[in-house]
Amino acid sequence: MQGTGVPIVTPFDSSGRVDYARLRSLVDWLEEAGVDFLVPCGSSGEAPLLTADERVEIVDTVAEATSLSVLAGTGWEGYEPTLETTERAAAAGAEAALVVTPSYYGSDDAALAAYYRSLADESPIPIYLYSVPKFTDHALSPRTVASLATHENVAGIKDSSGSLESVQRLVRLTADESFAVLVGSGSIYAAGLDAGADGGVLALANVVPGRASGIYRRHEDGRSERARSRNADLVELNHAVTTQYGVPGLKAALSLRDQPAGSLRRPLEPLAGTARDELDSVLADALEATDSTNPDSST
């Protein structure tokens, strides 16, 4: 998994059921925009609100609809359901599994390292660690990650700490391994690439997939300054659809772009009128800025 990955949202209909037709439409739009891989059933996909069967069907739908690599979110709070979902996701077409750190009982890094090693031993597909302290209140330490990177079936990490220092340490401490460091925050994407990250899994890329993937393309082409400029134009939008408004903001922004994001699943609620208006303004500013400063911008 290299380049720009999208933790694709899960569209629901008005009754709260997964809308697979809308999901396929989103997959088509994202692939046409030039992203590099897709990540169903992540945080942006409302994974904690999905059943195990829904997760597998979503992975199957995405894998069938795309020619891109699929990194499936398979983590639960317990080992057995995580392994089972990983095995089922593999059978459904996922090429690798993104496994969030269990958090309910406050396990320390030693326990989490043992958990991931056992999972990697049994998993039929490579495991990507998922450190997202915003939701779990625990960040995997870079040294713990480095110890796991030596396992042949632990392929990388999505670091959603938002810390450039963390990305830099992860890159340095895993440099001797075949291990991908993926930036999980759109606000530091270009800086993370400059530090040696292999790509990113960005909620932002749901809303502006071409512009987000353009950051990676510019960096790879040796145009790092242009990459940083593009990223700077998108920081406020990234803040709005992650920290400020979360998944409701992400889906509202997609609907403002005329994309079939569908409804939210309870207990999440749609944005109120004022918040939606503010988001609309932030989105318009980001689109205008990237168009004016980057003539070759798209989607």
Of the listed 116, 128, 158, 245, which one is catalytic? Answer: 158
Of the listed 79, 104, 128, 130, which one is catalytic? Answer: 130
> Among 105, 106, 130, which residue's Cα sits nearest to residue 116?
130
130 tagged catalytic: yes
- Residue 151 DSSP label: S
User: Chain-centre distance of CA 107, in angstroms?
Assistant: 23
Structure tokens that stand for 198 in this block: 């292999």
20 tagged catalytic: no
Which region holds residue 288: left if phi is over 0, alpha if psi is between -120 and 50, else beta?
alpha
Is 241 annotated to bind a ligand? Reply is no
Question: Residue 44: helix, strand or coil by DSSP?
Answer: helix
Collect all residues with Cβ–Cβ distance below 8 Å to 125 and sequence separation of at least 6.
Answer: 86, 89, 90, 94, 95, 96, 97
Q: In this structure, which amino acid lies at residue 266?
A: R
- CA distance linking residue 71 with residue 5, whole number of Å: 9
Residue with token string 């069907």: 57
- CA distance linking residue 74 with residue 134, whole number of Å: 18
Specify binding-site residues.
Answer: 201
Specify binding-site residues for pyruvate.
Answer: 201
Active site residues: 130, 158
